[in-house]
Structure 1
Amino acid sequence: MRVRSMAPPGAAETIPKPSTPWWRRLSVRGAAMFRPRAAAGVDRGQVTVFVVLLAVGALMVTSLVYFQGLKLRAGREAGNVAEEAARAGAGQLNRAQVYRTGVKSIDPEAAVRQARAYLAGAGQRGTVTTVGARRVRVTVTISRPAPMLSLIGVETVTATRTATADLVTGVDSGDGQ
């Protein structure tokens, strides 16, 4: 069986050789998309701009994660120091009042002194106040240097936490008695 040609009568029929790659059989415009841009002479640096923008975005996200990590660490440290100082202050029982009246309360001066001593021992500063007769409140502010973030103008990371401790006396056996 013979295949009919689709070429108009009298026109020379050009059939590509079977060894010709498929991309060479495309039109001139189609073949240009398979050539590298540098070879075509139309390199305009579009990929370079994309890579620069991508690198800047990645650097910004990394800096944000680093900053938040510093902030969380400073906050956790401030909270821990405030809680321990408040507990140290709340443990100062006013023994004279307990012996005289039987009412258990903290000694305000001793509580403030003990909480400040704990803060000084931890190398931190803070405010210590007594709230009522059975509670001590401590507020601690911690500042940490931010070495990598100084490039964008952030020199330090600061976190403030407040903790309150109550005077608890006696032993609770947990069975409701």
Structure 2
Amino acid sequence: MTAKETPRDAGSVTIMIAVLVPALLLVLGLIVDGSARLRAIARADALAAEAARAASTAVDTRSSTVGVDTASAARTAADYLARAGYPGDVRIVGPRAVRVTVTVTEPTRIGLLGSTAQSTGTALAELGVGTRDGGLP
């Protein structure tokens, strides 16, 4: 090979980097935005569970049967969600059950999956009265 001849593979690394770097940046962006979506899911589930638990503490002990004081339970769960700063819906689904649905919106950093990640969490809290034997005879 003379000094004027160039090797046949000249520039092949540059082409490979030009193809791989954008692909790796795309994968990184999907990971970062996907983690925002996972955080929104986890936060929505946790908020719904805690609001339902707070609502189930509103027990009506004045009547002959123990149940949930529906007005107080709805107010307690709504207050919890308001303090947390998230919108939600509280429904009394039975004499001892409260269902809470909350929607969480988290901003994404890169925006490949949209500028925000939104998730809805739902939890049901049932008031248990008495003891359970755990299936013992």
TM range (shorter): 0.7 to 0.9
Residue 173 of structure 1 and its aligned partner are, at CA, apart by: 6.2
Q: Which residue of 2 aligns with 1:126?
A: 88
Equivalent of 1:75 in 36, 41, 46? 41
Counterpart secondary structure, 1:129: strand
Residue 45 of structure 1 and its aligned partner are, at CA, apart by: 4.0
RMSD: 2.6
Q: Are the counterparts in 1 of residues 30 and 113 from structure 2 also a CA contact under 8 Å?
A: no
Q: Which residue of 1 aligns with 2:26?
A: 60
Equivalent of 1:170 in 124, 130, 136? 130
User: CA–CA distance in 2 between the matches of 1:93 and 1:66?
Assistant: 43
Q: What is the 5 A alignment of 1:2-17?
A: none
User: CA–CA distance in 1 between the matches of 2:57 and 2:136?
Assistant: 24
Is the aligned partner of 1:96 residue 2:56?
no
Pair 153,91 (structure 1): closer, same or farther in 2 beyond 3 Å: closer
Q: TM-score, normalised by structure 1?
A: 0.67
How many residues of Structure 1 are paired with residues of Structure 2 in the alignment? 137
Residue 104 of structure 1 and its aligned partner are, at CA, apart by: 1.7
Alignment-mate amino acid for residue 54 of structure 1? L
Unaligned runs of 5+ in 2: none
Q: Which residue of 2 aligns with 1:116?
A: 78
Alignment-mate amino acid for residue 60 of structure 1? L
Pair 153,83 (structure 1): closer, same or farther in 2 beyond 3 Å: closer
User: CA–CA distance in 2 between the matches of 1:158 and 1:170?
Assistant: 39
Alignment-mate amino acid for residue 126 of structure 2? D
More relative contact order in 1 or in 2 (CA 8 Å, sep 6+)? 2
Residue 171 of structure 1 and its aligned partner are, at CA, apart by: 4.0
Residue 47 of structure 1 and its aligned partner are, at CA, apart by: 3.0
Alignment-mate amino acid for residue 119 of structure 2? A
Which of the pair is proportionally richer in helix?
A: 1
Q: Which structure is larger by alpha-carbon Rg, 1 or 2?
A: 1
**Percentage identity across aligned positions?**
35
Residue 148 of structure 1 and its aligned partner are, at CA, apart by: 2.1
User: CA–CA distance in 2 between the matches of 1:157 and 1:52?
Assistant: 31
Q: What is the 5 A alignment of 1:38-57?
A: 39-40=5-6, 45-57=11-23
Unaligned runs of 5+ in 1: 1-31
